[in-house]
Amino acid sequence: MKRTLALLMVAIMAVFALAGCGGNQASNTPAPSQPASSQPGGSTSPDTNPLDGEKPVLKYLGYNVSFDPNTDLMAGIYEETTGYKVEYNVLPAENADEKLLMDVSSGADYDVMQVSVPQFQTLLAQGALMPLTDLLETYGQDILNGVSEDSWKAMSGSDGEIYGIPYKYPHPQEVTTFMVARMDLLREAGINELPTTIDEFYNTLKTLKAHFGDKYIILTGPFRQASEASVNWDIPQTITSAFGIYNDWMVDDNGKVIYMTEHENFPKMIEFMQKLMDEGLLDRDWAVNNTTTVNEKLSSGKAIIAASNRTGTMVTTPVMLGDDGLGLDWDDLGYIGALSGSDGTCKYMRTEAINQVTCILKNAKNPEHVINWINIKQQNQLYLNIGVEGVHFNYDENGEIDPINPIFAEERGNSYWYLNSTDEEAFAKEWPSRVRKSQAMWEPFDAVTNYANKHTPEIFVPNTFAFMPSLESYAKYNQSLFKATSDFILQLMAGTKSLNDLPTFMKDWENNGGENVRAEMQSWYNDFYGN
């Protein structure tokens, strides 16, 4: 008999205290040759575990990565630890959504898939997914115990069933997008300090333009994935923060759900971007740039300042520092975090949202084994994700994980891709070590995220909709609404549209699903937060 979500939450809360104990105890860390809980189900004895015996090869679909997950070192470690052999498949870098939906509609035989939240919402709305509540109760107790109540609520359908396993972003206050600046060129132009306000930022760009003219692109961006143009921002959030616009959907001071184009500072933000465009301070290719082109313009020395993120710096920094590239030193690179507005406004959304979801198609052949496989991985989270104490990491004087490089990066560098669920409390302590595996990631993280957490924690705004479940209208319309908004913003920046067209745009936006989505989200918000 199906359990209701409410009963499930009671069960979770009853064991949650146990789940939080011992998550980072070094004494429980297995050696590579002796992974903890190598038997399916972990603590379940082989005599009582119905899944003992020969295990099927699991067919897996995940998001695109630059390495081959079937030949990576971690594939063998995960197989040895879990007892399951897995055939890994990845979505393409371009047109990933289309490929996924085509596979599903044509009867794909994947045993398990890890997808983005929008992809999960689409599949759920289509009725393509298997309910997981009973499976988790039987084979996934460690998964249940390690995931928070709010995260489970976000993975549930209107029937109260769980349809996805969340992979939650573990660092709640990260400045995820920032800008990389050529400090050597800033100093050449007489600028010795990085800007922290929107006015200082504008003056920095103006000074660079006056000094270098057309020799360099002053500011390139935004930083959008070519395959996900509809869900990426056309204005860097480093800039939007100065106008108080921290998400596409927000809640005003009166508890009303609003869209970014309805925000009182939206016109001011557009006017600022138009000014940058008109004065030649922005890359003329702004509308068509993607991650690859922005990275290339920065690392090749064509641009002075570029929008980026941690994965972006992994690509650009080695080239910029390399003797075969720009030959720069570390002090030639600077990082611009969230900017404050002229009135002191600075809002940057907390990143506690779920960033990947593991789900099972309703006609999948081996759902019990899938849940068992994920459960074993979570039992061995520290070993799989971080490694062995004394070999891959040590604990510092504060009890925090300090990776031992280069072996940590070499042997656990790609382990994150193979995780499907985590003990959220333990993972939050483990995850920062992954940033430290590379100085190219750590330097901007320390400069913008650690700095903001230490000096300006008030800038971080809760992600109000972090745990919103799949909503029918949201799943149906939100991506198309965002795409329409993106196109409109680019037209505003290019001058082919003006702010006088905003009322017409909003009317079309409402008629094309915006009003339905807003009403649906408002209802959820009121219920979830007890308004």
- Six-digit token string for 43: 């603590």
- Six-digit token string for 406: 């280069």
CB proximity list for 483: less than 8 A, separation 6 or greater: 229, 230
Whether 359 and 352 have beta carbons less than 8 Å apart is answered as no
> How far from 14 is each of 7, 93, 141, 160, 374, CA to CA, in Å?
11, 42, 12, 19, 22
Torsion, Cα 226 230 235 237, to 10 degrees, reads -90
DSSP string, 446-461: IIIIIHHHHH-GGGEE
Domain assignment present for residue 487? The answer is no
The helix (run of H) or strand (run of E) holding residue 61 is strand 58-62
Q: Is 186 exposed, middle or buried (0-12, 13-18, 19+ CB in 10 A)?
A: buried
The C-alpha atoms of residue 274 and residue 48 are separated, in whole angstroms, by 67
Domain assignment present for residue 446? The answer is no
Domain assignment present for residue 303? The answer is yes
Q: Is residue 360 domain-shared with residue 315, that is, in the same domain?
A: no
Q: What is the per-residue pLDDT for 4? A: 36
Q: Is residue 101 domain-shared with residue 239, that is, in the same domain?
A: no
- Counting the structural domains of the chain, the total is 2
Q: Is residue 237 domain-shared with residue 129, that is, in the same domain?
A: no
Q: Is residue 134 domain-shared with residue 235, that is, in the same domain?
A: no
User: Is there a cis peptide before residue 32, judged by omega within 30 degrees of 0?
Assistant: no
Q: Is residue 134 domain-shared with residue 28, that is, in the same domain?
A: yes
Q: Is residue 358 domain-shared with residue 268, that is, in the same domain?
A: no
Q: What is the per-residue pLDDT for 298? A: 98
Tens digit of each residue's pLDDT (9 = 90 or more) over 163-179? 999 998 777 788 989 99
CB proximity list for 35: less than 8 A, separation 6 or greater: 80, 81, 380, 383
Going residue by residue through the chain (531 aa), what tens digit of pLDDT does each one get? 333 333 333 333 332 232 333 333 333 333 333 333 333 333 443 455 668 788 999 999 999 998 999 999 999 999 999 999 999 999 998 889 899 999 999 999 999 999 998 899 889 989 999 999 999 999 999 999 999 888 898 899 889 999 999 998 777 788 989 999 999 999 999 999 999 999 999 999 999 999 999 999 999 999 887 654 446 789 999 999 999 999 999 999 999 999 999 999 999 999 999 999 999 999 999 999 999 999 999 999 999 999 999 889 999 999 999 888 899 999 999 999 999 999 999 999 987 678 899 999 999 999 999 999 999 999 999 999 999 999 999 998 888 899 999 999 899 999 999 999 999 989 988 888 888 878 899 899 999 998 998 899 999 998 888 777 778 899 899 989 999 999 999 999 999 999 999 999 999 999 999 999 999 999 999 998 876
Q: Is residue 89 domain-shared with residue 217, that is, in the same domain?
A: no
Which single residue is written with the structure tokens 């029918």? 472
User: Is there a cis peptide before residue 222, judged by omega within 30 degrees of 0?
Assistant: yes
Backbone angles phi, psi at 289, to 5 degrees: -60, 150
Domain assignment present for residue 410? The answer is yes
* DSSP-assigned letter for residue 261: G
Domain assignment present for residue 448? The answer is no
Q: Which of 443, 465, 487 is the last residue of a domain?
A: 465
The C-alpha atoms of residue 478 and residue 154 are separated, in whole angstroms, by 17
**Residue type at 376 in one-letter notation:** I
Instruction: Find the radius of gyration of the CA atoms of the chain.
Output: 24
Whether 7 and 13 have beta carbons less than 8 Å apart is answered as no
Q: Please list the residues that pair with 357 across neighbouring strands.
A: 115, 166
Domain assignment present for residue 22? The answer is yes
CATH number at residue 237: 3.40.190.10
Q: Is residue 272 domain-shared with residue 311, that is, in the same domain?
A: yes
Which single residue is written with the structure tokens 């989270």? 381
Torsion, Cα 496 498 502 504, to 10 degrees, reads -60
Q: Is residue 149 domain-shared with residue 192, that is, in the same domain?
A: no
In residues, how long is the chain? 531
Q: Is residue 272 domain-shared with residue 312, that is, in the same domain?
A: yes
* DSSP-assigned letter for residue 510: I
Query: Structural domain of residue 226, as residue ranges?
Result: 177-349+460-465
Q: Is residue 357 domain-shared with residue 334, that is, in the same domain?
A: no
* Per-residue three-class SS string for 9-41: HHHHHHHHHHHCCCCCCHHHCCECCECCCCCCC
Domain assignment present for residue 481? The answer is no
Q: Is residue 231 domain-shared with residue 265, that is, in the same domain?
A: yes
Q: Which of 415, 449, 465 is the last residue of a domain?
A: 465
Domain assignment present for residue 324? The answer is yes
